[in-house]
Amino acid sequence: MRIRFLVPGNVRHGSGGNNYNAKLAEHLTALGAKVETITVDGDWPVGSQTDRQRFADMLDGGTTVIADGLVASGAPEEIAAAVNTGTAVWILSHMALADHPHLEARALAAATGIICPSAHSAASELATKHGTRKMVIAAPGAEKADPAKGSQPLHIVAVAALLPNKSQLELVECLATLQDLEWTTALIGSENADPRYAAEVRAAVEHYGLDERISITGELSGEALEAEWHKADLSVLLSRSESFGMVVTESLAHGVPVLVRQGTGAVEALGHTGAGAALDLTREGALTTTLRTWLTDHARQQGWRNNALQAREHLQGWDTTAATVLKALATPDAG
């Protein structure tokens, strides 16, 4: 099968969506598909007339198209025209758009089918906003890594671009109340996605006198990122909205327990592993209480660690994700 994979050109940091797209393309290729990944420039999700025409030009016949929802949701007429002339166009929706629901609804209705990386984003967001559609859920895979060794003092990592939704400022303010305990923390993610927010996070670290305990590393990959996972004892993902939270399964792949926010797709990623907790952060002090307990209770540390190591042995691989998508593309009526 020939697949043209269209991804947005205006997301330049290492987002979960970008990582999912790259892994899916890699493993579709491993299963024998001929995948052509094309970056579509434009001011998405709406895009100008020129942007939409550029997108339309890539929806040629003879190729099955997977289009990232950030691009596709802004071009419903172009999708409808392509589908009407015989091109199969699947929208890969990582998360429902915060704005432009009517535009998104028309694009989803026009598409051949919809691929969702999580039941959370499909059931709780898209279906709630737009009703039942032709959906297939293809949860992200994970690649089992060497188990983390941990650190002394205990080391916490928060792997996400520095963005208001990711709530690093909330984490810094919480850690400022725990200075009587021993710990270090690394905030690992792009500072370029929202420079103003990144500056606020840096200013807070300095204000609370935590420069020696909280490092802001910027975006890391490869051996540098693995080195941080190797030192980690706990991973924290406090996103206010999250379709799945691939960093959760990445944490578990390293045998590192995770704290996530209730009401987000990260809860789905953590599952019933017991490798950490989903916190109700509408409760004042919930994060502080949980971190203080973990930092001071060796039994809690060991229990979460053991559960993370057990979860590590049962993670779905990316080959399963790709096989789910390939089956759907081959039998669109089954979506």
In a domain, 150, yes or no: no
Determine the Cα–Cα distance for residues 323 and 309; give it in Å rounded to an integer. 26
Range of the domain at 76: 2-141+317-334
pLDDT of residue 48: 87
Residue 269 phi, psi (nearest 5): -65, -40
All residue ranges of the chain with pLDDT < 70 are 10-14, 61, 121-123, 132-133, 332-335
pLDDT of residue 121: 64
Same domain for 63 and 76:
yes
Residues sharing a CB contact under 8 Å with residue 194, sequence separation 6 or more, in sequence order: 161, 162, 163, 164
In a domain, 149, yes or no: no
Same domain for 203 and 83:
no
In a domain, 148, yes or no: no
In a domain, 283, yes or no: yes
pLDDT of residue 329: 94
In this structure, what is the dihedral angle of CA atoms 69, 74, 80, 86, given to the nearest 10 degrees?
-50
User: Counting beta carbons within 10 angstroms of the beta carbon of residue 284, is it exposed (0 to 12), middle (13 to 18) or buried (19 or more)?
Assistant: exposed
Number of structural domains the chain divides into: 2
Same domain for 307 and 325:
no
pLDDT of residue 335: 45
Same domain for 280 and 183:
yes
Determine the Cα–Cα distance for residues 235 and 186; give it in Å rounded to an integer. 10
Same domain for 118 and 19:
yes
Q: Can you give the CATH number for the domain in which 115 is found?
A: 3.40.50.2000
In a domain, 321, yes or no: yes
